[in-house]
């Protein structure tokens, strides 16, 4: 039922947007200088005043419709949320149990406010998170003898902290460990990416180790970074964008650059030829990996509503949904790219390295399509 209501809310947002734009055009027509004066003179003062009054009333009704739609979205999302306190309690127990088994005493300090996250995300995130904590404790916490040699306290210190961050929550697990990246199961990164979670490891040799997770809340408006690829305007979830920069042709050893193909899959770009594919580089993160893409243009982050798509319409995982932008002035819905699909290689559908952008397929006009049917 929740998905159906979310889809309904998305339809309401789209229809309100179309009506609002139609109203703006009507207002513009009514206010066009001499034409408006002649029109109002012909209609008479009373009729003209009635028309303007009705236009204002319609504008207020559309504003109320927008507010009611947002309330519906928030209520539906709220019903899908669950407190993460049980997850954090399990995290503390996991660290203490692993440390005890390895005879490496540890103390855990857990800090969190009333954090509520999408129930489906929590269910899928929990087993991955606990496995990663187990390996963190096993590989990053030194033995008592090593800790003594490094002049550390006898018990390893862990801190778990959750804070609002970039339209979601940042969950950090920090310990005074050895700073070495612990091993990961081969599918951990992709499994995290598929639920919209971003993870990164940080550490300082011999001093501290930390996992940082960015978890989406599933509540409120969608924040996206619009980009232009050729003549297509697409959207990337803001949580997945680590940064952007201008294509300057400078060599970046070890950094592979990709373009977004016509089928929204990855196309490898030969080093030094990035300018042939666009003017801006965008670094995208998903799961435990990052990837750099070249696009033609990057716009300011926008707030809107993302309407999810069913499995039959998501392009085999290429995109997550369509976004109705509250800032846009055109009647358009933009595809939201799936960071997991882009960062993890298009699930085996990468194209070989290219030296130039393929020309876009010629557009067919309406008459051709009708004859084809």
Q: What does the pLDDT read at residue 309? A: 67
Segments in the chain below pLDDT 50: 328-329, 331, 348-350, 359-373
d(CA 227, CA 243) in angstroms, rounded, equals 13
The CATH number that domain 84-216 falls under is 3.30.565.10
Q: What does the pLDDT read at residue 367? A: 41
Q: What does the pLDDT read at residue 90? A: 95
Q: What is the pLDDT of residues 169-194, one digit of tens each?
A: 899 999 999 999 999 888 899 999 98
Kindly give the pairing relationship between strand 168-175 and strand 156-165: antiparallel
Three-class SS string for the chain?
CHHHHHHHHHHHHHHHHHHHHHHHHHHHHHCCHHHHHHHHHHHCHHHHHHHHHHHHHHHHHHHHHHHHHHHHHHHHHHHHEEECHHHHHHHHHHHHHHHHHCCCCEEEEEECCCCEEEHHHHHHHHHHHHHHHHHHHHHHCCCHHHHHHCCCCCCEEEEEEEEEECCEEEEEEEECCCCCCCCCCCCHHHHHHHCCCEEEEEEECCCEEEEEEEEECCCCCEEEEEEEECCEEEEEEHHHEEEEEECCCCCCCCCCEEEECCCCCEEEECCCCHHHCCCEEEEEEEECEEEEEEECEECCCEEEEEEECCHHHCCCCCEEEEEEECCCCCCCCEEEECHHHHHCHHHCCCEEEECCCCCCCCCCCHHHHHHHC
Q: What does the pLDDT read at residue 65? A: 74
Q: What is the pLDDT of residues 24-67, one digit of tens each?
A: 776 666 666 665 666 666 666 677 677 777 777 777 777 777 77
d(CA 83, CA 244) in angstroms, rounded, equals 34
Q: Where are the domains of the chain?
A: 2-80, 84-216, 222-354
Q: What does the pLDDT read at residue 34? A: 62
User: Which pTM was predicted?
Assistant: 0.71
């Amino acid at each position: 039922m929740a998905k159906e209501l979310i889809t309904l809310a998305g339809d309401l947002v789209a229809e309100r947007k179309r009506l609002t734009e139609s109203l703006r055009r009507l207002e513009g027509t009514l206010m066009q200088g001499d034409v408006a004066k002649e029109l109002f003179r012909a209609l008479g003062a009373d009729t003209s005043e009635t028309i303007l009054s009705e236009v204002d009333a319609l504008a207020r009704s559309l504003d109320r419709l927008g507010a009611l739609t947002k309330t519906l979205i928030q209520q539906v999302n709220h019903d899908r949320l669950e407190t993460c306190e049980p997850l954090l309690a399990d995290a503390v127990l996991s660290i203490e149990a692993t440390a005890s088994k390895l005879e490496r005493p540890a103390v855990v300090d857990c800090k969190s406010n009333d954090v509520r996250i999408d129930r489906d995300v929590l269910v899928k995130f929990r087993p991955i998170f606990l496995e990663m904590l187990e390996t963190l404790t096993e590989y990053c916490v030194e033995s008592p003898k090593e800790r003594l040699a490094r002049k550390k306290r006898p018990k390893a210190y862990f801190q778990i902290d959750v804070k609002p961050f970039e339209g979601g929550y940042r969950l950090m697990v920090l310990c005074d460990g050895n700073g070495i990246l612990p091993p990961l199961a081969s599918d951990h990164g992709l499994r995290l990416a598929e639920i919209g979670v971003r993870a990164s490891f940080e550490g300082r040799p011999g001093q501290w180790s930390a996992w940082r997770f960015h978890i989406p809340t599933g509540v409120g408006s969608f924040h996206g970074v619009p980009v232009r690829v050729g003549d297509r305007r697409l959207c990337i979830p803001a949580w997945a964008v680590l940064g952007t920069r201008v294509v300057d042709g400078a060599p970046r050893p070890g950094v592979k650059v990709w373009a977004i193909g016509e089928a929204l899959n990855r196309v490898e770009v030969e080093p030094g030829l990035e300018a042939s594919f666009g003017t801006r580089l965008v670094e995208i993160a998903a799961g435990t990996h990052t990837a750099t893409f070249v696009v033609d243009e990057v716009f300011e982050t926008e707030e809107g509503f993302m309407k999810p798509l069913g499995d039959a319409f998501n392009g085999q995982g290429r995109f997550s949904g369509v976004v109705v932008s509250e800032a846009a002035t055109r009647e358009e819905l933009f595809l939201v790219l799936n960071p997991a699909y882009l960062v993890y290689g298009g699930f085996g559908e990468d194209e070989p390295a290219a030296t130039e952008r393929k020309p876009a397929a010629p557009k067919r006009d309406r008459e051709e399509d009708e004859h084809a049917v």
